[in-house]
A = this chain, B = another copy of it.
Amino acid sequence: MSDVLLDLERSSRIGFDEAIYSAGKTPAQIETILGLAIEAGTPRLFTRLTAEKFAALRPDYSAHLDYDPHSGTAMYGRHGKEDGPIRIAIVLAGTSDTSVGGEIYRTLEYYGHESLQITDVGVAGLWRLLDRLDELRKMDVLIVAAGMEGALPSVVGGLVPGVVIAVPTSVGYGVSEGGRVALNSALASCAPGIVTVNIDNGYGAACAALRIAGVARKHRAVVV
């Protein structure tokens, strides 16, 4: 157990608690962390938990988890539903991006935020995107996930006033294998004010949305 030292004050410092990145951890280490949460009665989110590793957990542990294999996320409990104020959209270029989309959706859900998911609006079929334009323009935060050439965040960024967070995905082959092209497209975007996170980092994009929600909530509170 000396391997694990949770960051228990993270929530008071930055506004939301620590999620557990499961990729490099053994099942035993995950059980230890989950056990601490169960004991303390506090919720806990696990990301990048593969089906194989989930299956390797002892059943008396895994039974406590709400697990979704497509997104690789598991929740032990969740936080209370936030009272807005911001509207968040998850915009996906293609069907292949839905696992990353799931990580975004479930992370937001864990921290008490609803979101709208729009799929298959990649730039090869531009009208599918333009058909949703009115809706997109009303959003406060648009988390836009795309792989391959990653043009979607740039196109969206030129059309809406909301905050656009690109999530490059590792969908692709040849030069785009691994997601570097999509990442660099987001960084080099000719549309101003687009920000990005690491490849496939749906969790990070959701956390950025949480920070923005916190800012909006703070100013609403001040004013009311």
A interface residues, Cβ below 8 angstroms from B: 2-7, 9-10, 13-16, 18-19, 21, 23-26, 29, 48, 70, 84-86, 93-98, 117, 119-128, 140-141, 147-151, 154-155, 157-165, 168, 170-201, 203-212, 214-216, 218-220, 222-224
Contacts and interface: CB of A to CB of B under 8 A. Distances in A.
A15 B161 contact: yes
B151 A154 contact: yes
24 contacts: A5-B120, A5-B121, A7-B125, A13-B160, A14-B158, A21-B96, A141-B215, A149-B185, A150-B188, A151-B189, A161-B211, A162-B214, A170-B174, A174-B199, A176-B198, A180-B184, A184-B184, A187-B196, A187-B199, A192-B203, A193-B210, A219-B220, A220-B223, A223-B224
Contacts of A164: 211
Contacts of A218: 140
Contact of A13 (B148, B151, B158, B195): B158
B189 A148 contact: yes
Nearest to A191: B124
Nearest to A118: B5
A68 to B, nearest CB: 13
Contacts of A179: 174
Contact of A186 (B149, B203, B220, B224): B149
Contacts of A219: 84-86, 140, 216, 219-220
A115 to B, nearest CB: 14
A188 B195 contact: no
Contacts of A186: 149
Contacts of A70: 26
The 10 closest A-B pairs by CB, nearest first: A24-B96, A193-B207, A174-B199, A7-B125, A5-B120, A151-B151, A176-B188, A195-B195, A174-B198, A15-B161
